[in-house]
Amino acid sequence: MAQAQRDLAVVIGLEVHIQLETDTKIFCDCSTEPADEANTQTCPVCLGLPGSLPVLNEAAVEAAVKVGKAIDADIPEETRFHRKNYYYPDLPKNFQITQYDEPICQDGRIEFSVESERRSVGIRRAHLEEDPGSLRHKGGSIDTAEYTLVDYNRAGVPLMEVVTEPDFRGPGEVRSFLSKLEEVLEYLDVFDAARDGSLRIDANLSVVEADALDGGIDEDRLAAANRTEVKNISSHKGAQKALSYEAQRQKNAIKRGREVQQETRHWDESRGITVSMRSKEEEKDYRYFREADLPPLQVSNWKDQVEIPELPDARRERFQGEYGLSAEAADKLTSTKQVADFYEAVTSEFDPDLAATWVADELLGELNYRDMTITDITDRLGEVTRLVELVAEEEITAKNAREVVLRGMLDDGHDPDIIVEREGLGKTGGDAVETVVEQVIDQNPGAVEDFHAGESGALNYLVGQVMQATGGSADPGEVNQLLREQL
Ligand code: ADP
Ligand code: MG
Ligand code: ZN
């Protein structure tokens, strides 16, 4: 077939490094909390000093088992650790403890939606490993810096590397997958997307003839395709941009009759391009061998004992069935576990549709507008519930609930009842003020007469009387208006 007529398809496979949320590092007791000062959270183990011995952190194993269960992976009876040898300043031992041919998870699957179409991507393996330290290039980037500092606070932080099959057919799919992956990890409570550096992606991309993909994957052709591995991607958006760039770069090369080099490339976020770093290292370069300081880990017990919560897809479906919500509302309300928990707590007392409107539309909308999330107000569940109650019982109008009470709650941190009273909202509030206004008019015929005679001080006097009678709780503007109306 002539080259110009070939239909080229993009093939992508990911190696995603996620930081597992544990209090201490994977092989020592050092804290994983970010520190202000470099090299303050280190010990002989994570500094790789001679004679120190690693001790496996069970919390990291538990987190990994949770992930394995959530992605439907095979978790073996026994798993073990290997040393991956390479020399780099961020790696104090000159090897990284990782897993090799006996990873803790194999053959999993993650389903996600791309523009409402269901997609499924195979997870080849997911293994535990330690993070190296971090480098700070001073006075420039990696190739222009004057000098470089090393911080070993990160060294030994537990990571899980999730390796997908080359099942992606475009950068957009990758982005949707990453969102879904994070969503699942956050449901499992093993990951914090907001933590700096908690997600790092290496993306492999090749461009192959499309007919090779018809109906299924031609394994041989995929294996034979020259691919590049793009490193240094740290966000969903970055992944999409880097891969769009890289796909186009490879297509251009092929169209010009040039062969794509098998190599490692670096995503330069600020320039929006990928640049060649080095020829791709081969497995043999790493001289993997068993980590003799750590015994094989029996995971079968863990597998039986570790439990995972209801996952986002299942919860989404249940929300539609149990509460009769639309797919769209269920989507929003299960976007994070915290939102879903919040919704279920509110709806236990009210009509599910009303609760959905107030949590999914009003509350999330107002939070989003303020760059806040549901976790900022989880301790105010009672107040939000009270707000919905005020609406449900028609104590206040929906408009006031949204524009005055909810906004006041978020901006000033006040309780809804206090805002209702302060602003003179609500049936009882409004009624009460109106009654007082009537009474004051009845009791002050002289002032009323003066008002009608055009005496300017009369109205102020009457407003003052109402304010006094309500103990200052009424809104002077509203009192003014009510008086004018009734006079
Ligand atoms: P290596 O041993 O070179 O690291 P692996 O077989 O472990 O290669 O695969 C690494 C990653 O490359 C996996 O995420 C896999 O999905 C991806 N991959 C494999 N073949 C291709 C391809 N033809 N195009 C894009 N990605 C690929
Ligand atoms: Mg690999
Ligand atoms: Zn340590």
Query: Where are the chain's structural domains?
Result: 3-305, 312-417, 431-486
Query: What atom of ligand 1 comes closest to residue 229's alpha carbon?
Result: 12
Average pLDDT over residues 398-418: 89
Write down the pLDDT at residue 4.
47
Pocket test for ligand 1, best of 14, 204, 243, 261 (most atoms within 8 A of CB): 204
Write down the pLDDT at residue 3.
47
Write down the pLDDT at residue 89.
92
Write down the pLDDT at residue 1.
43
Q: What is the pLDDT of residues 122-165, one digit of tens each?
A: 999 999 999 999 999 898 777 788 999 999 999 999 999 999 99
Question: Does residue 227 have its Cβ closer than 6 Å to ligand 1?
Answer: yes
CATH number for the domain whose boundaries are 431-486: 1.10.10.410
- Which two three-digit tokens encode residue 441? 């008019």
Question: Does residue 283 have its Cβ closer than 6 Å to ligand 1?
Answer: yes
Nearest listed ligand to the Cα of residue 31: 3
Measured distance CA(246)–CA(227) in Å, rounded: 10
Average pLDDT over residues 464-473: 77
Nearest listed ligand to the Cα of residue 202: 1
Query: pTM of the prediction?
Result: 0.81
Which has the higher per-residue pLDDT, 116 or 359? 359
Contact between 143 and 135 (Cβ < 8 Å):
no
Report every protein residue that has its C-beta within 5 angstroms of ion ligand 3.
28, 30, 43, 45-46
**Please, which pLDDT band fits residue 167 given cuts at 50, 70 and 90?**
very high
Ligand 1 atom 11 nearest Cα: 13
Q: In this structure, which amino acid lies at residue 163?
A: V
Q: What is the pLDDT of residues 330-365, one digit of tens each?
A: 999 998 899 999 999 999 888 899 999 999 999 999
Q: What is the pLDDT of residues 44-103, one digit of tens each?
A: 999 999 999 999 999 999 999 999 999 999 999 999 999 999 999 999 999 999 999 999
